[in-house]
Amino acid sequence: MASPAHSLNRQKTTRHRSFSAILSSCLPLRTRSMAESKKNGGGSSSNQNSRLRGPRVISKILGLASQVQDISKDFEGLEQYEQLIETQRALKKELEEKRVQVMQRDNQIKKMGVEIEDKKRECDTLLNSFGEKFRLLDRNETHIGVLEEQTASLKNELERVRGEVQRMSTAEADLRGKVDRQEKNLRKAKEQIAKQSQTCLDHKRMLDSKDIEIHQLEASCQELKQDASDGVLQHMSTLEMGRCADDLSNELHGMVLHYLLDAKDMSKTALNSLASHKSHTLKLSHGMTKYARLLRCAAAEAVVCDSLMRHVFRDLFYPATPSFSDATTAILDLLGGNPDAASSTASSLSDSVGGSSHKACRRQRVVRANLIAHQDSAYPDAGSVHKEVVTIVLDEVISLLQPFLVATAISEFRLKLEDFILHATQFWARVQRNTNRCTALGSMERAGDWEECEDQQADYHSLIEKTAELEVIRDQKLKTGEMEVVAVLFPQVICEGNCIFNGRALFNTHRAVLKASMERSHELASTKVPIHPHKRRSSVVSASTVTGMLGGGAGGGGGSSHSHPHNTGANLESAMPLSSPSSSSPRKMANLSPSRSTGRKIAAPGEQRPRGINSTTQDATSLATHRKPVSSTTGGKGNARPSAM
């Protein structure tokens, strides 16, 4: 198919040819008319020809003129068209060039986009690195500040050191002068030493002779000591002694708590005999409260403890006659000096071997070893002596405590008590043979022996109800110093002035005693039975008329009873701690088992009980597992020893 430009060119060519043909047809005609006019003489002929052919020629000319005009118009249009074609071609060429430029620009834009992305990534990397460098710069600035401060401090220190150096240089100059003076004095001293050396040699000869004499005396003294105590005295650790005493104390408390009758099963006469015993100052009653029962148990323990102190826990208890034992004790005290003074200076004994206290203790040890050796020879069968003492103590305790025991359990209690006393005699026999002399204290023989511990008080006071009256009475007693032992429940053991076993005692400031005294005053007020008009007293009297109280102790004035029935067994042990006030660790008495040196065990709460022991006794027995331990000290009264395991 031909293009538009080609068709236009062909039309233009056709029109141009027709225009040329018209011109060529017109030109011969005009030429012939001009030639004829010349031949005919000019005007006449022309006029004739014009007359002949004028109208046709004019019409043709006019037609040709119109065609020429049309053709001229078409020619101008063609020229304009050609110009437009040329312009179009130029524009197309320019358009192609622009397209090429646009493609080049697009490629450049893509390249620039890639470069921009690369630049962005580089910018982000630079920003991150700049942040790190900025943070590093901050840290460096902080570090520079610290270094500047350190530099300033070092400068100050340098200035101080320079001053010190200056002062030391001045002191050095002074010391040099002193050294010079000392050298002069040294030369003089050497001269004096040379003079005194001869004198020292003379004294050395004298000391050598004295040393030989001292060695001879020490050898003879060692021979005498070996002859006196070899095979007789043995060392027993204080921890072992305290543990054995703790086991005995637990065994005694377990027996009394287990086998003691309730108040309703006791006669008033038997109760009065127990209350009037010299081992305590407690006033007992038939009351059924936990406090009254605790005080009755304490009174029974005090009776056993008093019998042990009089027959077992004595110096050299082997002879049956107390007079011989008292005489030997007096001799030992005379030879050994005052044990309290010796204990106060026990720390300095090792530094004063040649002192009088050490010599007195050594003389006492030698005499005690001789006495024990003499007793061993006089009583070769120690078991018989033990049995004799056991029989004496057993009969004495049973005769007094029998009315307070279950009738069917007396034989069982007698066996348990016999084992306990035998253990006590065996323990004290071992204690007597200790290298250091041991004694037992059954009362407040020295100030501070039974000192109360407030921390211990808080342990069991928190388990019973607190009343304002009780707090006021106890605080008044503590402030005024009215604190005394009303019942010794187990003695202390003292070894050379150091408390090995702190024992157990009942004080008039214990809450159980104060509570019982308040209940007693309340019950005494309630025992005043009114007389009726017909002169007959009311037959209704309270079963528990009197509660145990301190003899001259807590002031009781009109206090009301605060005992609770549900606390009779549960808080029985918490109401009155029968351990020493200085004890601090839990007493291990599961199932009321006696000392581990025995193979027997007291009946546990779940075992068969003797008839007559009611639920209150069972509750009290089960609470024996929560008793406080008895602490002992190896270096004084304030240090607690581990509880017996």
Q: Which two tokens mark 475?
A: 């605080």
- Range of lowest pLDDT (176-190, 202-216, 389-403, 577-591): 577-591
Taking only the tens place, the pLDDT of each residue in 347-388 is 333 333 345 666 677 777 777 777 777 666 666 666 666 788
How far apart (Å, rounded) are the C-alpha atoms in residues 422 and 595? Answer: 12
- pLDDT (mean) for 188-200: 88
Residue type for position 149 = E
Residue 552 CB neighbours (<10 A):
10
Q: Determine the pLDDT at residue 622.
A: 36
pLDDT in tens, 208-231: 988 888 888 887 766 665 555 556
Q: What is the pLDDT of residue 36?
A: 56
Task: Give the pair of three-digit tokens for residue 291.
Answer: 């406090």
Read off the pLDDT band of 346 (50, 70, 90): very low
Task: Find the mean pLDDT for residues 1-15.
Answer: 55
Residues 6+ away with beta carbon under 8 Å from 273: 400, 403
pLDDT at 100 (0 to 100): 92
Q: Tokens 């061993």 label which residue? A: 376
Select, from the ranges 243-247, 297-301, 548-552, 608-612, the one with the highest average predicted confidence (pLDDT): 243-247
Count of Cβ atoms closer than 10 Å to residue 638 Cβ: 13
Please check whether residue 591 is in contact with residue 605, taking contact to mean a CB–CB distance below 8 angstroms: yes
The tens digit of pLDDT for each residue in 70-117 reads: 777 777 778 888 888 888 889 999 999 999 999 999 999 999 999 999
Angle, helices 410-432 vs 290-311, to 10°: value is 50
Predicted confidence (pLDDT) at residue 193 exceeds the cutoff of 70:
yes
Per-residue model confidence (pLDDT) at position 41: 54
Tokens standing for residue 453 = 């511990």
Rounding to the nearest 10 degrees, give the CA dihedral for residues 636, 230, 333, 352: -60
pLDDT of 627 over the 70 cut: no
Contact 516, 292 (CB under 8 A): yes
- d(C-alpha 591, C-alpha 588), whole Å: 9
**pLDDT of res. 107:** 92
What are the pLDDT digits (tens) for 146-158? 999 999 999 999 9
pLDDT at 587 over 80: no
Contact 502, 583 (CB under 8 A): yes
Terminus-to-terminus CA distance in the chain, angstroms?
128
Domain residue extents for the chain: 4-229, 244-318+379-530+541-626
Contact between 72 and 15 (Cβ < 8 Å): no
Secondary structure of residue 343 in the 3-state scheme: helix
Q: How far is Cα 563 from Cα 289, in angstroms, rounded to an integer?
A: 7
pTM of this structure: 0.47
User: Residue 613's pLDDT is what?
Assistant: 32
Q: Which residues pair with 234 in a beta bridge?
A: 434
583, 631 contact by CB (below 8 A): yes
Mean pLDDT of the chain: 68
User: Phi and psi dihedrals of 504, rounded to 5?
Assistant: -140, 140
Is 68's pLDDT higher than 70? yes
- pLDDT single digits (tens) 238-289: 888 889 988 998 888 888 888 876 666 666 666 776 776 777 777 776 777 7
Q: Which residue has the higher pLDDT, 451 or 329?
A: 329
Cα(37)–Cα(119) distance, integer angstroms = 96
592-626: pLDDT as tens digits: 333 333 333 333 333 333 333 333 333 333 333 33
β-pair partners for 439: 494
Q: Is 516 a residue whose pLDDT tops 80? A: no
| Choice between 119 and 233, residue whose per-residue pLDDT is larger | 119
| Least confident residue range of 164-173, 322-331, 381-390, 548-557 | 548-557
Q: What is the per-residue pLDDT across 20-39, written as a single tens digit (0 to 9) for each?
A: 555 555 555 555 555 555 55
Whether residue 6 has pLDDT greater than 70: no
- 111-142: per-residue pLDDT in tens? 999 999 998 888 888 888 888 888 888 888 88
Count of H-run helices and E-run strands, the chain: 15, 7
Fill in the DSSP letter of residue 627: P
